[in-house]
Chain A
C-alpha cells in the first residue's frame, strides 16, 4: 500500500509544483493547498499503514495505529489552514488594490522602479 501512496503523493507534488509555477495567484494558492495535502499524506504514509486499531485505548485491541504522526499532522493541518487563509486574504487585497492577479504583472525589482 505504501508504494501506491508514494505514487499518489508524487502526483500531488507534481500537480502542486505545476500550479505554483503558473501566473495566476489563485492557482498558486491552490498549488500550496495541494502541496500541504501531499505533505500530510506523506507523514501518515511514512508512519506506516500497517493494520491495527484506531488509537483509542478503549478499543482493547492488540495493536494500534501509530498515534504520533497523527498528532503531527493535526498540528500541520491547522497551521497550513492559518497560512492559507492569510494568503487568500492577501491575494484578495492584492486584487483589489492592484487590479490584477497576474504574477508576471506584479513582478519587479529595484531596477524596474
Chain B
C-alpha cells in the first residue's frame, strides 16, 4: 500500500469513523471533522502537478486478485489529476457549504457525511484506477452513494422516486459498461487501461470491438446524462443542494466524460466513435438548453443546463477524436476541440458549482426555489446576486468570464468541422456549428432567466415563507471562492494551460507531441466572435419576448415526454411480469404437471429426432412366448380399465391386479426375489389403499364418478407413453458395451460366500444402497406416525 492508496481509501476509512464522531462529539457540527480530509487530499494531489506537467506519470500497484488479473492499480497522469483536483477541491468547498446549509439539530448528519465520503472515495477511485474491473467497482460505488444521497430525505416521496430513477438508469448503464469492459479485456488480454492503450489499434477489426465500444458508451452516456438518458438528472434535484452541486454538476456526471476521454485513444480509431460521441453530445446540448428555458424551478434550470453543458463537452471530445484520423497539417485545429473540452470541463465545474450554491442560498433564505414566486431579491441578497451574475454570465458565455473563452473555443472547433471537410461531410457539416449556435442562444436565455427573474423586478414578499436576508458568511465562502475562480480563469486562462490542460490533453491524445496550449483572450474578428455577438443579440431579443413565444413548450403534451415514456416502460415491465406470472403460475398442480410433461415430451422427441437416435433392431431380443403375451394383455387391459373405473374400490382392486401381474412377469423373467417382494408389497399397498379410501367417511359433496375425458390430458399422456416406449426401444436396440454382471456372477460365491447373487449384491457388493433404503423406510414410518399423531389445529398455531 503506497501513500496514494491510503489517500484514495482515506474517505472510506473516515466514513467508518464519522458515526463515532457524530455520537461522541455532538456539540460540534460533524462537517468540520470531515472537511479536513478533502483539504488535505487537495494539497496532496496538488503537488503532483509538477510531475504531470513534465509529462511524467505515477503508478502504484497493489495486488488484489492476481489470478484474474485484477489489481488495485492507481495511476496519476494529467487527466486523472485534473479530475482528482476537481473532486477534492470542489469537495472541500461543498463540505464547507454543507456545514452551514444543513442544520445540526434537524438533520441526520452522520448519514449525510458517510454517504458523501463514500462518494468522494469512489470518485477518486474511478479517475485514478488503471484496472477496468476496479474502475467498475468504484463506478458502482458512485451509483450507490448517489442513490443514497438523492434519497437523503427519504420521508419524501419525490426523493425516493428520484433516487430510484437515477439508480435504475445509472446501474443499467453501469452493467452494460461492465460487459464492454469484459469484451475489452478479452480483446486485449489484460484489464490494465495503459496496457490496452499501448497496444490499441491492433484490434479495430475485431468482432468484439464495436459491441464493446457501444456498451461502454452506453455506460458513459447514462452516467453523464446524455440524451435520452438525461431524465434522471432533473429528478435527482430532490437531493440536498450541496449534493446537487457536488455530484450532479461537478463530479459524478463527469465520470462518463472521464470515461470517454480516457478510452478515446482506444476507440477513436474508428469513425463510428466520432459520429456517436459528437452527435450524442450535440443532441444533448440542444435538448438540454431548449428545455432548460421551460423550467420554473431554479434547480430544474440548473439541472437541464448541466445536461446541456455535458453535451457540449461530450461533442467536443467527439470532435477531438478526429485528430487521430487526420494528423498532419491541421493537427492543431482538431486538438483545439480536445483542449476546449478540458477547459470547459474545468469552467463548468466552477461556475455550475457556484450557481448551485447560490440557488441553495436562495432556497435557504426565502423558502422557495420557484422563479414565479421569486423576484427583486437584488437588494436583499447582494452577495448572492453578485455570485449569480458571475456564474450566469460565465454560463451564457459572456466576457470577461471563463465561460466566454471556452464558448469561443467551442465555436472555433465547430466551425472547423465545416472548413476542413473531415469524413466527407461537406453539406452535413454545417449542421454542427448551426446546432451549437442555436443551443448557445438558448443557453443565453436560460442564464438570463435564472439571473433576472430571481433578482430583478418586483419583490413578492407575501409569497415567500421567510423574510429574505443575506446568508451567513460561512455559506457564502464556497460560492465566492468558485466565483473568484471563474473570474481568475477568465482573465488569466494560461495559468491553467501548462499546469492542467496540457497534461490532460496529452492523456486523451497520447499521439500528440509538441503540444502547446495557449488560450488568448482576444483573437481578432473571426467567425466565432460574430457568432457570439449573434448569440447575445438574438438572446436578448428572445429573452425580452419570452412571454410571446414560450407557448411552443406546450405544443408537445406532457404524455409524449421522455419521462412519460420512462414511466410507462416501468409500468409495462411491472404489469407485464405480473401478467405473465399470473398466467403461468395458476396454483393448480395439474397445470404444472402439464408443463413438466409437455417439456419432457418435446425435449425427448426433439433430441431423438435431432440426433437421429431412434433405431429399431430386433437382433438381440428374446423370443416371444405365449405366457408373456397373455400377461402383457392382462396388464394392458388392467391399466386401461383403471381409467374407466367408476368407484374407487374398483380402481384399487385393478391396481392390485396390475401389481400381481408385475409379480408374475418377475416370475417369468427369472427374478424370484423380486416376485416375492412385489407380491408382499402389492398386498400391503392395496390394504393401505383400502384402509385410507374405503374406510373413509363418505363426503357429502363428493359423488363417485368416472373420470371426465379431457383432450389435452389425453394428448399429453399418449405423448408420454409414446416417448417412453420409443426411448425404450431405441435404448434396447443400441448396446455399446457388455454388462458388468459377469463379475458379480463369478465372484458372488468366491468373494462373498453367497449363492443368491441378487441378495449378495444387495447386502455385500452394494450394501450402501440398502442401508439408505432402510433409512427411507424408517423416515416414511416416522413421518406417517408424526402425521397421524401430531394434531396442531389451526387454532393453536
Residues on A lying within 8 angstroms of B by beta carbon are 1-23, 26-27, 29-30, 33-34, 37-38, 40-42, 44-58, 64-68, 70-71, 73-75, 77-79, 81-86, 88-93, 95, 99-104, 106-109, 111-112
Residues of B within 8 Å of A73, CB to CB, are 671, 674
| 20 more CB-based (< 8 A) A-B contacts, given A18-B713, A64-B745, A74-B674 | A1-B625, A1-B628, A3-B618, A4-B628, A6-B729, A9-B728, A11-B721, A13-B725, A14-B720, A16-B717, A21-B590, A33-B659, A44-B674, A51-B622, A54-B672, A65-B669, A74-B762, A77-B678, A88-B692, A103-B590
B625, B749, B787 — which one has the most chain A CB atoms within 10 A of its CB? B787
Q: For residue A59, which residue of chain B has the nearest CB?
A: B755
Stretch from B150-158, B242-250, B581-589 contacting the other chain = B581-589
Residues of B within 8 Å of A58, CB to CB, are 755
Are B776 and A82 in contact, with the CB atoms below 8 A? yes
The one of B582, B639, B702, B740 in contact with A11, judged by C-beta atoms closer than 8 angstroms, is: B639
Residues of B within 8 Å of A91, CB to CB, are 692
Are A19 and B739 in contact, with the CB atoms below 8 A? no
Report the separation of the CA atoms of residues A83 and B688 in the bound assembly, to the nearest whole angstrom. Answer: 12
Are A81 and B685 in contact, with the CB atoms below 8 A? yes
The yes or no answer to B303 lying at the interface (CB within 8 A) is: no
Q: For residue B778, which residue of chain A has the nearest CB?
A: A82
Report the separation of the CA atoms of residues A42 and B670 in the bound assembly, to the nearest whole angstrom. Answer: 15
Residues of A within 8 Å of B673, CB to CB, are 70, 74
The one of B582, B731, B769, B787 in contact with A75, judged by C-beta atoms closer than 8 angstroms, is: B769
Known: A21-B710, A41-B662, A89-B787. A104 touches B652 (CB 8 A): no
Are B662 and A79 in contact, with the CB atoms below 8 A? no
Are A11 and B636 in contact, with the CB atoms below 8 A? yes
Are A4 and B725 in contact, with the CB atoms below 8 A? no
Q: Residue-by-residue, is B759-797 near A (CB-CB < 8 Å gives 1, otherwise 0)? A: 001100010011001001101110110011000000000
Are A34 and B658 in contact, with the CB atoms below 8 A? yes
The yes or no answer to B325 lying at the interface (CB within 8 A) is: no
Are B658 and A93 in contact, with the CB atoms below 8 A? no
The yes or no answer to B677 lying at the interface (CB within 8 A) is: yes
The yes or no answer to B718 lying at the interface (CB within 8 A) is: yes
Residues of B within 8 Å of A27, CB to CB, are 651, 707
Are B744 and A92 in contact, with the CB atoms below 8 A? no
Report the separation of the CA atoms of residues A95 and B672 in the bound assembly, to the nearest whole angstrom. Answer: 38
Report the separation of the CA atoms of residues A81 and B37 in the bound assembly, to the nearest whole angstrom. Answer: 72
Are B587 and A108 in contact, with the CB atoms below 8 A? yes
Which residues of chain B (626-665) have a CB below 8 Å from chain A? Answer: 628-629, 632, 635-636, 639-640, 642-643, 648, 651-652, 655, 658-659, 662, 665
Report the separation of the CA atoms of residues A50 and B648 in the bound assembly, to the nearest whole angstrom. Answer: 38
The yes or no answer to B207 lying at the interface (CB within 8 A) is: no
Are A79 and B685 in contact, with the CB atoms below 8 A? no
Residues of A within 8 Å of B593, CB to CB, are 20-21
Report the separation of the CA atoms of residues A40 and B677 in the bound assembly, to the nearest whole angstrom. Answer: 13
Residues of B within 8 Å of A48, CB to CB, are 620, 622, 739
Residues of B within 8 Å of A75, CB to CB, are 762, 769-770, 773
A82, A107, A109 — which one has the most chain B CB atoms within 10 A of its CB? A82
The yes or no answer to B544 lying at the interface (CB within 8 A) is: no
Residues of B within 8 Å of A101, CB to CB, are 699, 702
The yes or no answer to B66 lying at the interface (CB within 8 A) is: no
Distance in Å: Cβ of B596 to nearest Cβ of chain A: 10
Are B681 and A77 in contact, with the CB atoms below 8 A? yes
Which residues of chain B (725-741) have a CB below 8 Å from chain A? Answer: 725-726, 728-729, 731-732, 739-741
Are A55 and B728 in contact, with the CB atoms below 8 A? no
Residues of B within 8 Å of A5, CB to CB, are 632, 728
Report the separation of the CA atoms of residues A75 and B768 in the bound assembly, to the nearest whole angstrom. Answer: 11
Q: Residue-by-residue, is B55-97 near A (CB-CB < 8 Å gives 1, otherwise 0)? A: 0000000000000000000000000000000000000000000
Which 9 A/B pairs are nearest by Cβ-Cβ distance? A14-B721, A10-B725, A17-B717, A82-B780, A109-B587, A18-B717, A107-B588, A67-B757, A57-B755
The yes or no answer to B100 lying at the interface (CB within 8 A) is: no
Report the separation of the CA atoms of residues A93 and B11 in the bound assembly, to the nearest whole angstrom. Answer: 62
Q: Residue-by-residue, is B561-604 near A (CB-CB < 8 Å gives 1, otherwise 0)? A: 00000000000000000000010011111100110010000000
Residues of B within 8 Å of A79, CB to CB, are 773, 776-777
Report the separation of the CA atoms of residues A80 and B586 in the bound assembly, to the nearest whole angstrom. Answer: 29
The yes or no answer to B758 lying at the interface (CB within 8 A) is: yes
Distance in Å: Cβ of B696 to nearest Cβ of chain A: 6
Are B671 and A4 in contact, with the CB atoms below 8 A? no
The one of A54, A77, A103 in contact with B589, judged by C-beta atoms closer than 8 angstroms, is: A103
The one of B628, B669, B671, B724 in contact with A9, judged by C-beta atoms closer than 8 angstroms, is: B724
Residues of B within 8 Å of A71, CB to CB, are 758, 761-762, 766, 769
Report the separation of the CA atoms of residues A54 and B643 in the bound assembly, to the nearest whole angstrom. Answer: 35
A2, A53, A91 — which one has the most chain B CB atoms within 10 A of its CB? A2
